[in-house]
Structure 1
Amino acid sequence: MKGHFYKRGCKCNKKKCSCGSKWAFTIDIGLDPITGKRKQKVKSGFNTKQEAEEAAATLFHELNQGTYLEETEKTFSDFAIEWLPIYSDSKDVKPGTIRVRLHEIGKLLPYFAKLKLKDITRKMYQDALNDLKDQGYSDSTREGIHRTGRMIFRKALELEIIKKDPTEFAYVKKDKKSIEQLEEDEVPKYLEKEELALFLEIAKANGLEHDYLVFLILAYTGIRVGELVALKWKDVDFKNHTISITKTYYNPNNNTLEYQLVTPKTRKSRRKIIVDEEVIHQLKEHKKVQEKVIEQLGDNYYSKDFIFAKMERQYGYPIVIKTVQNRMARLLRISGLNPDLTPHSLRHTHTSLLAEAGVSLEQIMDRLGHTDDQITKNVYLHVTQEMKKEASQKFSELMRSLR
């Protein structure tokens, strides 16, 4: 391999340089596969010729061993933009996930935007994570940001455009929590069976259009609200009393006309749920009412088979998730129940009641469309532990009654 050493920018024209120029080298590193012309590597900034020669020797060794990497000059910002479609295409990522990744990239940009990927060190990356904590971002938010950062740098490493991954040993600092905080975090809020009965009574008596059926299905099936809004009549098997979950609703701006139907959260989320007779009965009644509206409106109805379709303005379009959230907040106020509950709380409620009924965790996971979910496990364990305490108390009472 050819190469030479020189003082870059030196104009002394003397054997002994007095202008303070740094040493540099230029080395042939092979042929350009497209043009067939020789490729050269230039590196400068060395204080002595010996330093330049040692660096060149290291480079020669890497070239001979086949381990040489031409690191990219791209900035973090530029590569992050390139990475996003690669990530999206390789994993069949849903629009909502892309939106989250963009948000998380945005949190890293103030630290790295104009820095070259190859110049970002482990310390710089860790300092960024620590600073995000100091700014008050939650553990889960910082974990998400770190997850995105790690994927970006690992892809750069995989593409052989950087030599080291600055995220390799990084970690998300967390504050130690008190026992009370841990207990509060572990078990999400949900309705007890008496509270659920009251909530559904209020929904039936005071609910607006769709309310009773919406919350009945959420409570009796444990499906996600996005899965509910996406339901079509073809998903219901009235004969076998099942509902098939094959899609979910995506509409971050809550614009009725701009919805998307996307594949469920995970493969396991595609499932068929056996439902109660009451659910089937209410669906049949709802279908009758809807068919009359469709007959009256004719071509003015957006006929796409949605079960929970709007019946005023934009007729036939699926209701937005925000509507379900607002309706639940209204019914909670009327019923005097915990105002912090959300439609997703009914999913946890479903879990708790199945656990109380003696259904196994595996069966509950299957019904909810989970492969593994810690929150569901926590609800299940909380309920079953309470049942064990109750059984112990009943045994003690029985033994005391014998004295």
Structure 2
Amino acid sequence: MKGYFYRRGCKCKKKKCSCGAKWAFTVDIGIDPVTGKRRQKVKSGFNTKQEAEEAVATLIHELNEGTYLEETDKTFSDFAIEWLPIYSESKDVKPGTIRVRLHEIGKVLPYFAQLKLRDITRKMYQDALNDLKDQGLSVSTREGINRTARMIFRKALEMDLIKKDPTEFAYVKKDKKTIEQLEEEEGPKYLEKEELALFLETAKQNGLEHDYLAFLILAYTGIRVGELVALKWKDVDFLNHTISITKTYYNPNNNAVEYQLVTPKTRKSRRKIVVDEGVIQALQDHKEDQNQVIKRLGDDYYNKDFIFAKMERQFGYPIVIKNVRDRMKRLLRIAGLKEELTPHSLRHTHTSLLAEAGVSLEQIMDRLGHTDDQITKNVYLHVTQEMKKEASQKFSELMRSLR
């Protein structure tokens, strides 16, 4: 294989170099299949000729073994921009997820933006993760950033743009919790059945438009608030008492007229939920009231079949999720309940009450549209553990009664 070694940029006229120029090599690596011309590999920066010779020996070995890879000159920033549409198209990703990925890429850019992918080392990447921790970013935030960066580098590896993935052995540092912190930690937040009854009664008596029906459905079905807002009348089967979940609502700017309806979070999220007769009756009552408004407003009503449609300004457009959150906080305050609870807390409440009623975890997951969710499991295990204690107590009481 043809090639030669030299001191790059050496201006010494003497046989022995005294200017400190680094060693380099130029070596043939085959024929370009498109042009038919010879391809050459040039590399410099070696302190000694021996180092350059060893690098050439490694290169020749890789060429002979068929493992040689010409790493890309692309920067992290350039490839991240290329990766995003590839990721989006391959996984049918929701707009909200793309928004999150962009945010996470933005957190990595200050460290690697103008660095070539091939030059980013494992140490550099781990140092970046550690620095993000020092900046005060939470564990979950740093895990998300690491997840996104790992996908980017793995795609580069898959496309033969780099030889090594610098994220391969990286880890997200976590602070060790003290016994006191572990003891003070609260589990998932949800309402006990008495609290839920009080909350729904408060919504019935003091709720604003849509409030009672919205929170009744959230509590009695466990659906996500985005799924609630996206509901249309065609999703309700009044005869068989079911609600079909086929879409979810996306509107990051909370602009009522700029909403999007997207496919559910996961394939398992597409589901049909059997509901209580009381929920069906509340829906029927709401439909009658809504029909009167549509009849009165005529063409001024944006009639796209939404159940939870605005009745003042932007008539007919679906209500925004922020509106549901704000309304819930107001009702919790009136009821004297924990104001930090959210509409998602009603999903956890639904889980806890199903568990208390003896419904299996598998049935609950199916109803919620989950394939796997640790929080749901935590709620379930917490409630069923209490039920096991009750069973043990009843057995002990039975045995004591025999004495």
Aligned residue runs from structure 1 range 1-400, under 5 A: 1-179=1-179, 181-182=181-182, 187-400=187-400
The answer for unaligned runs of 5 or more in structure 2 is none
- Kindly indicate whether the alpha-carbon contact (under 8 Å) linking 1:186 and 1:378 is maintained by their aligned counterparts in 2: no
Could you say what secondary structure the match of 1:28 adopts?
A: strand
Shift of 1:27: 1.5
Q: Deviations over 1:20-58 (max 9, x none)?
A: 322211112223333333222111122333322221121
CA distance in 2, matches of 1:17, 1:133: 48
Q: How much does 1:402 deviate?
A: 4.3
Aligned mates of 1:183, 1:281 — CA distance in 2: 44
In structure 2, C-alpha distance between the alignment counterparts of 1:111 and 1:13, rounded to whole Å: 42
Task: In structure 2, give the amino acid aligned to 1:218.
Answer: L
Deviations 1:320-359 (A, max 9, x none): 0000000000000000001111000000000000001110
Mean CA deviation greater in 62-71 or 205-214: 62-71
SS of 1:344 mapped into structure 2:
helix
In 2, Cα distance between equivalents of 1:190 and 1:46: 63
Partner AA of 2:31 in structure 1 = L
For 2:116 and 2:93, locate their aligned partners in 1 and report how far apart those are by CA, in whole Å. 27
State the AA in 2 paired with 1:304. Answer: K
Instruction: For residue 79 of structure 2, give the secondary structure of its aligned residue in structure 1.
Output: helix
| Partners of 1:188 and 1:375 within 8 A in 2 | yes
Q: Which has the larger displacement, 33-42 or 258-267?
A: 33-42
Rounded to whole Å, the distance in 2 between the matches of 1:302 and 1:181 is 51
Provide the C-alpha distance between the structure 1 equivalents of 2:183 and 2:216, rounded to a whole number of angstroms: 29
Q: Tell me the distance in 1 between the aligned counterparts of 2:179 and 2:258.
A: 45
3-state secondary structure, aligned to 1:381: helix
Distance 2:88 2:183 in 1: 37
Report the residue type matching 2:136 in the other structure. G
Give 3-state SS (helix, strand or coil) of 1:40's partner. Answer: strand
Task: Give the Cα–Cα distance (whole angstroms) in 2 for the partners of residues 16 and 374 of structure 1.
Answer: 68
Amino acid across the alignment from 1:345: S
Deviates more, 1:379-388 or 1:320-329: 379-388
Partners of 1:198 and 1:315 in 2: CA distance: 31
Give, in angstroms, the shift of residue 271 of structure 1: 0.3
SS of 2:155 mapped into structure 1:
helix
Provide the C-alpha distance between the structure 2 equivalents of 1:89 and 1:295, rounded to a whole number of angstroms: 43
Task: Give the total of aligned pairs.
Answer: 403
The answer for unaligned runs of 5 or more in structure 1 is none
C-alpha spacing 1:308/1:77, structure 2 compared with 1 (3 Å): same
Q: Which amino acid aligns with 1:389?
A: K
8 A contact 1:153–1:165 mirrored in 2: yes
Shifted more, 172-181 versus 140-149: the winner is 172-181
Tell me whether 223-232 or 158-167 shows the greater mean CA deviation: 158-167
Offset at residue 189 of structure 1 (A):
0.8
The 1-side partners of 2:324 and 2:366 are apart by: 25
Given residue 118 of structure 2, which amino acid in structure 1 is its aligned partner? K
Which AA in structure 2 matches 1:189?
K
> How much does 1:276 deviate?
0.3
RMSD: 1.5
Letter in 2 for 1:158: E
Distance 1:80 1:99 in 2: 14
The alpha carbon displacement at 1:170 in A equals: 0.8
* Distance in 2 of aligned mates of 1:170 and 1:7: 37
SS at match of 2:133: helix
* C-alpha deviation, 1:186, in angstroms: 6.8
Structure 1 pair 374/180, CA: closer, same or farther in 2 (3 Å)? farther
Q: What is the identity, as a one-letter code, of the residue corresponding to 2:165?
A: D
Point out the more displaced range, 182-191 or 248-257.
182-191
- TM-score when scaled to structure 2? 0.96
Q: Is the 8 A contact 1:4 1:25 kept in 2?
A: yes
Shift in Å, 1:76? 1.3
How much has 1:263 moved relative to structure 2? Answer: 0.7
Deviations 1:162-196 (A, max 9, x none): 11111111111112224564466572010000110
Partner Cα separation in structure 1 for residue 49 and residue 402 of structure 2? 97
More off after superposition, 149-158 vs 28-37 = 28-37
My pick for the range that moved more, 27-36 or 124-133, is 27-36
TM superposition shift of 1:74: 1.5
Once the two structures are aligned, what percentage of the paired residues are identical?
A: 86
Specify whether residues 273 and 181 from structure 1 end up closer, same or farther in structure 2 by C-alpha distance, changes over 3 A only.
farther
Deviation, structure 1 residue 121: 1.1
